Structure 1
Amino acid sequence: MNPRIHGKNVVITGASSGIGEQMAIKAAESGANLVLLARRVEKLEELKSFLESRYSNKVWIHSLDVSERENVEAVFSAIFAEAGKIDVLVNNAGFGIFEEAHLAKWGDIERMFAVNVLGLISCTQMVIEHMQKNRSGHIVNIASQAGKIATPKSSIYAATKHAVLGFSNSLRMELSTYGVFVTTVNPGPIATNFFEIADRSGTYVQNIQRFMLKPEKVAEKVVAAMLTNTREINLPRWMNAGSVFYTLFPRLVEKVGKNAFFKK
């Protein structure tokens, strides 16, 4: 539970499944009003019905493709019209495809950057001036441990998440004088349908299944940090320790960890 978000308006992109869905549930438990965004509106309708049957919060839903700028502008205009204010924006929409760089399809590359980077920036731009004016707010960007330590077959996905971290780190400094918080969430592999697209062979999931995070646990950590000045949420801790070690000793990690990295 997070009493700080009781009665606040929380916007979540990619809310139809996985940690987006779980964050919606956890935020509702804390008394937040929710604006749920995703491309699959039928999934959002199911989630809205579930939440309204259990909680008294307001729940709005909109179909949104974050990679379409005009769609983003129209949806956020509608959000401000109906909700009046956005207290927390969670940029959760994103996907990955694991493939060696020379085999990656150009359409997949463009789509990953359009959703994971440009879409995230686009949604963020919609709330910056609003939060600056209110001198409060929280932008939560779901990144990845892949944004800290890249591995083979994730070159494009890792590049998008490195971009998210760079954008977030700069934005955090820009907004610090306005009382607006910026948090990056850097999870390792999570047991969601993300890997139905990312790992089409199923090999990677088989190799790391016992280490995969539960989406509800990740969501719990994120919701607990809402409207607090939290710089990063790194899960699991041992994996983040590895990324710190990698920053200090990149050659050693790449040499010693080579076999493990190629398990995708």
Structure 2
Amino acid sequence: MKKLIGKVILITGASGGLGEKIALHAANQGATIIGVARRKDRLEKVITQCKELSQTEAYAFELDVADKNQVTEVLTNILQITPKIDYLINNAGFGVMENFVDLDMNRVEDMFKVNVLGLMQIAQIIAKKMKAQGSGEIVNIASMAGKIATPKASAYAATKFAVIGFSNALRLELASSSINVMTVNPGPMQTEFFTHAGQDNAYLKSLGKVVLDPDKLAKRIVRNLGSKKREINAPWYMQIASVAYAIFPKLGDYLTGGVFNKK
């Protein structure tokens, strides 16, 4: 049985990578997909596939989540075409992997605008809608970098630490309104992320089996929608490592700064 028939899912960064895979898996479960992304041409191809899988309507909206005015305008238009939003998947984000002393502060600002401030603005607008309808779930895609910081990821890790902290507090604030907030913390994943972040294919190859398959993770996320799960951490042993890091921080610094530093 398709468990998402009649459900409306808004996904940011839906034109590729994990966002695209989530959209396709959710559509396959019968959901109505509303995808937003900067790359409208690629997004429209994804939305066409969603329509074929769900046999229902799906929508594409061009959006740069770093643009506050555009976020307000596009979400206003979205809320005019749908009576409800059952799930928000805050997936849009990017990283720059450089030593902080060499990093252009304009790029740091861009990361915070997309990864944190844009995510928060969208979450606020949709949370108000969900409170009015009396139900919903917000899924914020963070990162294991928000639990275990590594060299050349200082600014990116800061954005993801912020997303995790924001999500934890928002979960408590919305609990009485029957709205769940789930945080997804992936480790390195086989997407275009690291190419845009300044890392070549050799970096992902050096990580071996640690690298996640975005299709498998997307399927897991969709399977857990509506389960009121607090977090998804992948791979599972990186979650164990994050707990160990908190208990043995000096050893964690040694491992992440030396043995496991492959950037």
Identify whether the pair has TM-score above 0.5, normalized to the shorter chain.
yes
User: Which residues of 2 match residues 132-211 of structure 1 at below 5 A?
Assistant: 132-211=131-210
1:262 aligned onto 2:250: no
Aligned mates of 2:216, 2:13 — CA distance in 1: 17
Q: Which residue is 1:92 aligned to?
A: 91
Verify the 8 A CA contact 1:2 1:224 in the aligned structure 2.
no
Runs of 4+ in 1 over 6 A off after TM superposition: none
SS at match of 2:119: helix
User: Which residues of 2 match residues 232-247 of structure 1 at below 5 A?
Assistant: 232-247=231-246
Aligned mates of 1:227, 1:91 — CA distance in 2: 16
Aligned mates of 2:142, 2:57 — CA distance in 1: 28
Verify the 8 A CA contact 1:36 1:61 in the aligned structure 2.
yes
Report the AA paired with residue 93 of structure 2: G
Report the AA paired with residue 200 of structure 1: Q
1:28 aligned onto 2:38: no
User: Which residues of 2 match residues 39-54 of structure 1 at below 5 A?
Assistant: 39-54=38-53
Q: Structure 1 residue 33: deviation in Å?
A: 0.4
Q: TM-score, normalised by structure 2?
A: 0.96
Aligned mates of 1:88, 1:20 — CA distance in 2: 13
Q: Structure 1 residue 54: deviation in Å?
A: 3.6
User: Which residues of 2 match residues 200-239 of structure 1 at below 5 A?
Assistant: 200-239=199-238
Q: Structure 1 residue 55: deviation in Å?
A: 3.0
Aligned mates of 1:77, 1:90 — CA distance in 2: 17
Q: Structure 1 residue 151: deviation in Å?
A: 0.6
CA deviations 1:85-144 (Å, max 9, x no partner) are: 111000000000101110111121111001000010011011111111222100000000
Provide structure 2 residue ranges, at least 5 long, that are not aligned to the other structure: none
Aligned mates of 1:186, 1:201 — CA distance in 2: 22
Aligned mates of 2:243, 2:61 — CA distance in 1: 39
SS at match of 1:255: helix
Q: TM-score, normalised by structure 1?
A: 0.96
User: Which residues of 2 match residues 11-90 of structure 1 at below 5 A?
Assistant: 11-90=10-89
Change in Cα spacing, 1:34 to 1:47, as seen in structure 2 (3 Å) is same
Provide structure 1 residue ranges, at least 5 long, that are not aligned to the other structure: none
> How high is the sequence identity, in percent, across the aligned residues?
43
Q: Structure 1 residue 201: deviation in Å?
A: 4.2
Aligned mates of 2:133, 2:52 — CA distance in 1: 32
Aligned length: 263
Aligned mates of 1:32, 1:189 — CA distance in 2: 28
User: Which residues of 2 match residues 104-119 of structure 1 at below 5 A?
Assistant: 104-119=103-118
Verify the 8 A CA contact 2:8 2:32 in the aligned structure 1.
yes
Q: Structure 1 residue 255: deviation in Å?
A: 2.2
Output the aligned Cα RMSD: 1.3
Change in Cα spacing, 1:38 to 1:167, as seen in structure 2 (3 Å) is same
CA deviations 1:140-190 (Å, max 9, x no partner) are: 000000000101110000000000001000000000001000000001001
Verify the 8 A CA contact 2:194 2:200 in the aligned structure 1.
no
